Structure 1
Amino acid sequence: MFRLQLGVSVIFVVFTLTLGKQCVNPEVSATTFTTQDATVLTSIAYVSEFTLKCSNGAEKDRLPLYAEVNGVTLPTARIGPEGNGRYQVSWTEEISSAHTGDVPVHLYDEDGYATLRKLLRNNEDTSSAKPLVTIVVNHPGAYQGPWVNSEFMAVMLAALVWYLAFTAKSKLLA
């Protein structure tokens, strides 16, 4: 009889520990960064650092979060001391495929992420997987250098000076 009670107790404890705590009424505040100088880089970096607050305090229990950006799932990283609700998500894109404007970052808890993965695996519409919250990362674009190189401008200026000098000389000798 004792073994049965012990077995039931162990199963109950394991079941309780494996249940993910859900965040109720999430509030998020985020700061974002994107690479804005692409003169010597090959990729644009996107970084979003955010603080999550739940009305039930779920963020204090090491709440695992997952992000989805443009159909790609990404892990989030907890930063700082445990239980402060601070997270970070980052990714890179090639300069040629990076678009300017707002990039939505959908954040999911474990249940939402499981639903999202199932929908992606079955090639179904992912709109039924409701994100916990959505963060918007704004990418204003990246500077890729001047429209005209300075070497080209120097050659054009030298050609103009030569032309003006040649025509002035021709007028003096004529």
Structure 2
Amino acid sequence: MNYFVFSLVILLFLFSPTFGASCQSPRHSSSGYSTQDGFFHFKTTYIMEFALQCANNYEHNSPFFAIVNGRVYQLSVSEETTKYQVSWLLEHPESSAQTFDVVVLDEDKLAEYKKAVQSGVENPLSRIEPLFTTQYYHPGVSKKAPFSSEGVCLLIAAAAVYFALNFKQELAKRD
């Protein structure tokens, strides 16, 4: 019995640093992309990519989450670059020029956020300390046609010249 208890205590001490570990003093850099053409796309797509470094060399196999406009998204991680990505879609009417706050959380902070939401807190993000918050500016969606008005005028003028020359040749043949 003592051997079993002793083995259990040793195992707990060996694995205790991994329990409750989180990214400490995170440093990040981010970049983003969004579709801006409302003519060829059905919805506006947003993609944010993060490079994240933790002071305690936190493992990249633990999930991170992003909150954008009150919606929770899980970050995906690239095995080649160890960068994190989050993407979301919005309808074109919701995609006017605006700045998005992207709040990044670990599992523990996400649990705190969900508890705050369930308890009816008015601003649940104010109750927690995120790993970091970054912003992405979206300039808006353009719904213009793929042809410029100058191009259309040029085509009409070229067609008019073509038909005028053809008409002139037809008149010359009749004489």
Normalised-by-shorter TM-score class: 0.7 to 0.9
Matched, 1:104 2:101: yes
Judged with a 3 Å threshold, the aligned counterparts in structure 2 of structure 1 residues 131 and 41 are, in CA distance, closer, same or farther, namely same
Which of 109, 112, 115 is equivalent to 1:115?
112
* Residue 88 (structure 1) shift: 0.3
When normalised by structure 1's length, the TM-score is 0.73
Alpha-carbon RMSD across the aligned residues, in angstroms, is: 2.8
Aligned to 2:159: none
Q: Identity of paired residues, percent? A: 28
TM-aligned CA distance change 1:7 to 1:135, over 3 Å? same
Structure 1 residue runs of 5 or longer lacking an equivalent are 158-174
Structure 1 residue 131, shift from structure 2 partner: 1.1
**Counterpart for residue 49 of structure 2:** 49
- Return the TM-score normalized by structure 2: 0.73
Is residue 93 of structure 2 the alignment partner of residue 92 of structure 1? no
Is this contact kept in 2: 1:102–1:136, CA < 8 A?
A: yes
| CA spacing shift, 1:23–1:14, aligned 2, 3 Å | closer
| 3-state secondary structure, aligned to 2:5 | helix
Match of 1:5 in 2: 6
SS for the counterpart of 1:142 is coil
- Answer yes or no: is the 8 Å Cα contact 2:96–2:141 preserved in 1: no
Cα distance per residue 1:95-119 (max 9 Å; x no partner): 1122312101000112211111111
How many residues end up aligned between the 2 structures? 150
1:68-147 counterparts in 2 under 5 A? 68-81=67-80, 85-124=82-121, 125-126=123-124, 127-146=126-145
Letter in 1 for 2:143: Q
In 1: Cα distance, 2:102 partner to 2:60 partner: 23
Structure 2: gaps of 5 or more residues: 157-175
Q: Distance in 1 between matches of 2:61 and 2:20?
A: 10
1:21–1:63 contact (8 Å) kept in structure 2? no
Which runs of structure 1 show a deviation greater than 6 angstroms over 4 or more consecutive aligned residues?
Answer: none
